[in-house]
């Protein structure tokens, strides 16, 4: 199977010090839906901006469809469709006019543009609104139109930055459907997201990125499989960080040497204990903790999710979204409201 | 080459289509020069008593207004670009195979088209107020050539600032900072000899002044080839520099 995207040591450094993307190596296979999963500021947008020739890499190289993004940017642009993170639409034109403009920018002929615009309006359920000003569109309609502009030339690779950011659940499900349909017609798709559900439902393979590096890569099932068994999540009736740290230490001590305990990881307010069989483990854990003088506040049992995978590799929950300097640079891409 | 021309055409059409959707904007754009023509000629009427060779102030001011409109329109492209940047449109465009220069030339042409429409209004209204063009159609075409070059220069520079800054606030500040001085440090409103010596000295560094010095005789007396060649040289150089700077700004845009 050939690769639609290959990156070799791809690096972007802003202001000489901020490594937004740091020695990134990924291979995306033709025909797959590949997800870049990570918190804000992880370097996802910078990565896809380099792959779509918008941003010039500082070091390393990348090929899209066999073409080098630095040496043959025109060839890359011709086979790539880029859908921006924020609704990249022109409020002063109608939906059809906006699609037509991009058709011209992709250098398609008039008839093709007309046919293709109609097809896409149909696919994205915008036919009724096609000749209305985009200013009257809802958020979901704008996002659909925006994805449509990236599809005018039937790209080999569709690059979507946060396909469903800020959209309601019905719209999200519909956009997932469109993406799956495009993919089943043979289009390779690269998407970024910080919704775990999105990668779980949509992606064939996922790369978890943090601080501009790939920290884990595989199918969602493989990644979750790396965390065996179940997660027992514990909280303690303490207020202060110091006490919490003490509790954590005590728990580790109490559970150390127990065969059924795979790992103990702090997770924000809680402490996650990864075990083989949750149902059997819970009473055992409680007994051990009580014997060691640890009082448990709440106890919860869950199947491992990608969140746990993320936590395992980065030591953080994906939704914590601590403001990172790396993300600040790309902030102008987002609408300031 | 062909892709540049076609992409320029579609970019221009996209900008102009705004007026189809908002005919009211077009109306304001065309009424604006009429208001200025009336207000300025009323306000500055008495200047003619200071020893003007031209009979009326309209005759003197009409060519000035044509240049002034080019100065005032210089911000319009910057604001369209800022809107496109804000809504993530420009970043999408540069991910397509569209010719880079076409995005620039299409925008500059859009400003030129709106300016030409305004000039036509000025010519018609000032004609009815008693002003005439001494050099006829040839003079009007020469006016278009000189002032278009000036307009490209000014519009390109403000656009470059917009694409570099990516936010409206500094662009508004900078544009306001330079627009009025450019106008007042030229002989658009009054003849140069009525201005203090230091302003007359500064005028020599203002491309706007070269344009008006070449254009005004076209309306009042005839072709002043010395002034015309100077204006063409200065304004063409200015336009080239601006296009160069704007191209560089577009190149840096994606980071």
**How many angstroms separate the CA of residue A116 from the nearest CA in chain B?**
17
Q: Report the C-alpha gap between A278 and A300 in whole angstroms.
A: 10
Cβ atoms of B150 and B208 within 8 Å: the answer is yes
Q: What is the CA radius of gyration of chain B?
A: 19
Q: A residues 117-146 near B, CB within 8 Å? A: 133, 146
Residue A206's pLDDT is 93
* B86/A104 touch (CB, cutoff 8 Å), yes or no: no
A110 at interface of B, judged by CB pairs closer than 8 A: no
- Nearest by CB to B91, which of A54, A90, A93? A54
- Nearest by CB to B95, which of A46, A82, A329? A82
CATH 3.30.70.920 fits A228-303, yes or no: yes
Tell me the sheet residues that pair with A62.
A7
Residue B53's pLDDT is 61
- Torsion, CA B189, CA B191, CA B195, CA B199, rounded to 10: 80
CA geometry: angle A147, A148, A150, nearest 5 deg: 70
Q: Crossing angle of helices A139-149/A169-184, nearest 10°?
A: 20
Among chain B, residues having any CB pair with chain A shorter than 8 Å are 3, 6-7, 10, 14, 17-18, 21-22, 84-89, 91-98, 166-167, 254-255
Three-state secondary-structure class, residue A69: coil
Residue A225's pLDDT is 76
Q: What are the helix and strand counts (H, E) for chain A? A: 12, 15
* B14/A97 touch (CB, cutoff 8 Å), yes or no: yes
Q: Is residue B142 part of a domain?
A: yes
**How many angstroms separate the CA of residue A81 from the nearest CA in chain B?**
8
Q: Where in chain A do CATH 3.40.50.300 domains reside?
A: 3-223
ipTM above threshold 0.95: no
Residue A56: alpha-carbon gap to chain centroid: 22
Q: Is A7 left (phi over 0), alpha (psi -120 to 50) or beta?
A: beta
> Is the CA virtual torsion A244, A245, A248, A249 positive or negative?
negative
Residue A252's pLDDT is 85
Cβ atoms of A21 and A11 within 8 Å: the answer is yes
Domain extent at residue B200: 2-12+23-36+55-253
Q: Report the C-alpha gap between A281 and A176 in whole angstroms.
A: 37
Please identify, in words, the CATH class of the domain defined by A3-223: alpha beta
Cβ atoms of A143 and A171 within 8 Å: the answer is yes
A200 at interface of B, judged by CB pairs closer than 8 A: no
Cβ atoms of A122 and A114 within 8 Å: the answer is no
- As given in the structure block, the two tokens for residue A215 are 């920290």
What does pTM read for this prediction? Answer: 0.83
Cβ atoms of A10 and A61 within 8 Å: the answer is yes
Residue A334's pLDDT is 40
- As given in the structure block, the two tokens for residue A18 are 């901020």
Q: How many alpha carbons lie under 13 Å from residue B58 in its C-beta half-sphere?
A: 19
Cβ atoms of B230 and B140 within 8 Å: the answer is no
Find the closest chain A residue to B14 by CA distance: A101
B96: chain A residues, CB-CB within 8 Å: 77, 82, 102, 105-106
Q: Where in chain A do CATH 3.30.70.920 domains reside?
A: 228-303
Count Cβ neighbours within 10 Å for each residue of A193-230 and write b for 16 or more, e otherwise: bbbbebbbebbbbbbbbbbbbbbbbeebeebbeebebb
- As given in the structure block, the two tokens for residue A299 are 């106890």
Per-residue pLDDT of chain B (255 residues; tens, 9 = 90+): 788 999 999 999 999 999 999 999 999 999 999 999 989 888 887 777 776 666 678 888 899 999 999 998 988 999 999 999 988 899 999 999 999 899 999 999 999 999 999 999 999 999 998 888 989 999 999 999 999 999 999 999 999 999 999 988 888 888 888 888 998 999 988 888 888 999 999 999 999 999 999 999 999 999 999 999 999 999 999 999 999 999 999 988 888
Q: Report the C-alpha gap between A243 and A145 in whole angstroms.
A: 52
- As given in the structure block, the two tokens for residue B16 are 């102009």
Residue A325's pLDDT is 35
- Nearest by CB to B21, which of A87, A92, A333? A92
- Nearest by CB to B97, which of A14, A77, A83? A77
**How many angstroms separate the CA of residue A264 from the nearest CA in chain B?**
42
The count of domains in chain B is 1
- Nearest by CB to A84, which of B6, B7, B91? B91
Q: Report the C-alpha gap between A83 and A159 in whole angstroms.
A: 6
A190 at interface of B, judged by CB pairs closer than 8 A: no
Cβ atoms of B59 and B131 within 8 Å: the answer is yes
Per-residue pLDDT of chain A (337 residues; tens, 9 = 90+): 689 999 999 999 998 888 999 999 999 999 999 999 988 888 999 999 999 999 999 999 999 999 999 999 999 999 999 998 877 888 889 999 999 999 999 999 999 999 999 999 999 999 999 999 999 999 889 999 999 999 999 999 999 999 988 788 888 898 899 999 999 999 999 999 888 788 888 999 999 998 899 999 999 888 877 776 788 888 888 777 777 788 888 888 888 888 888 888 887 778 888 887 778 888 888 888 888 888 888 888 877 777 777 777 777 766 554 433 333 334 344 433 3
A91 at interface of B, judged by CB pairs closer than 8 A: yes
Q: Which of B7, B87, B96 best tests the A interface by mutation, with the highest count of A CBs <10 A?
A: B96
Backbone angles phi, psi at B133, to 5 degrees: -105, 110
Q: Is residue B41 part of a domain?
A: no
Q: Report the C-alpha gap between B162 and B166 in whole angstroms.
A: 5
- Nearest by CB to A107, which of B3, B166, B167? B3
Q: Is residue B224 part of a domain?
A: yes
Residue B237's pLDDT is 97
A335: chain B residues, CB-CB within 8 Å: 86-88
**Which among B76, B235, B243 is positioned nearest to B148, based on CA atoms?**
B235
Q: How many alpha carbons lie under 13 Å from residue A98 in its C-beta half-sphere?
A: 35
Residue A321's pLDDT is 44
């Amino acid at each position: 199977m050939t690769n639609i995207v290959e990156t070799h040591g791809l690096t972007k450094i802003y202001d000489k010090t901020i490594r937004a993307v740091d020695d990134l190596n990924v291979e995306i296979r033709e025909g797959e839906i590949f997800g870049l999963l990570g918190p804000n500021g992880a370097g996802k947008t910078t990565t896809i901006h380099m792959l779509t020739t918008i941003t010039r890499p500082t070091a390393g190289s990348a090929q899209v469809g066999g073409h080098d993004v630095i040496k043959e940017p025109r060839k890359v642009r011709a086979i790539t469709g880029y859908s921006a993170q924020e609704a990249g639409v022109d409020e002063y034109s109608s939906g059809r006019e906006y699609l037509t403009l991009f058709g011209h920018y992709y250098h398609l002929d008039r008839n093709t543009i007309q046919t293709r615009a109609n097809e896409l309006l149909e696919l994205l359920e915008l036919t009724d609104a096609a000749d209305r000003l985009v200013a009257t569109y809802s958020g979901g309609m704008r996002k659909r139109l925006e994805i449509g502009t990236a599809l005018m030339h039937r790209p080999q690779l569709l690059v979507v930055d946060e396909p469903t950011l800020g959209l309601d659940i019905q719209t999200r499900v519909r956009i997932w459907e469109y993406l799956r349909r495009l993919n089943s017609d043979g289009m390779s798709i690269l998407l970024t997201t910080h919704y775990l559900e999105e990668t779980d439902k949509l992606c064939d393979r996922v790369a978890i990125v943090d601080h501009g590096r790939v920290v884990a890569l595989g199918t969602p099932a493989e990644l979750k499989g790396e965390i065996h068994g179940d997660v027992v999540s514990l909280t303690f009736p303490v207020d202060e960080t110091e006490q919490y740290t003490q509790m954590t230490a005590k728990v580790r001590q109490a559970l150390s040497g127990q065969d059924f305990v795979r790992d103990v990881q702090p997770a924000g307010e809680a402490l996650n204990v990864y075990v083989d069989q949750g149902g059997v483990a819970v009473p055992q854990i409680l007994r051990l903790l009580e014997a060691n003088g640890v009082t448990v506040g709440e106890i919860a049992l869950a199947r491992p999710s990608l969140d746990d995978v993320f936590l395992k590799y980065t030591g953080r929950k994906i939704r914590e979204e601590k403001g990172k300097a790396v993300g600040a640079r790309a902030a102008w891409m987002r609408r300031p409201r | 080459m062909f892709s540049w021309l076609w992409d320029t055409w579609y970019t221009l059409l996209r900008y102009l289509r705004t007026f189809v959707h908002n005919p009211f904007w077009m109306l304001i754009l065309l009424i604006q020069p009429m208001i200025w023509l009336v207000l300025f000629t009323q306000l500055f009427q008495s200047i003619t008593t200071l020893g003007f060779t031209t009979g009326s102030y309209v005759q003197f001011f009409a060519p000035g207004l044509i240049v002034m409109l080019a100065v005032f329109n210089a911000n319009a492209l910057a604001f369209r670009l800022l809107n496109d940047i804000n809504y993530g449109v420009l970043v999408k465009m540069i991910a397509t195979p569209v010719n880079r220069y076409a995005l620039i030339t299409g925008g500059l042409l859009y400003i030129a088209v709106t300016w030409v429409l305004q000039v036509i209004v000025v010519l018609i209204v000032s004609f009815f107020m008693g002003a005439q063009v001494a050099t006829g159609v040839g003079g009007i075409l020469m006016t278009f050539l000189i002032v278009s070059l000036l307009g490209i220069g000014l519009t390109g520079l403000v656009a470059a600032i917009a694409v570099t800054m990516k936010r409206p606030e500094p662009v508004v500040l900078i544009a306001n900072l330079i627009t009025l001085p450019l106008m007042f440090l030229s002989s658009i409103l009054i003849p140069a000899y009525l201005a203090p010596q230091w302003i007359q000295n500064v005028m020599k560094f203002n491309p706007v002044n070269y344009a008006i010095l070449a254009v005004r005789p076209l309306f009042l007396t005839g072709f002043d080839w010395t002034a015309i060649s100077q204006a063409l040289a200065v304004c063409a150089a200015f336009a080239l520099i601006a296009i160069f700077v704007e191209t560089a700004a577009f190149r840096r845009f994606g980071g």
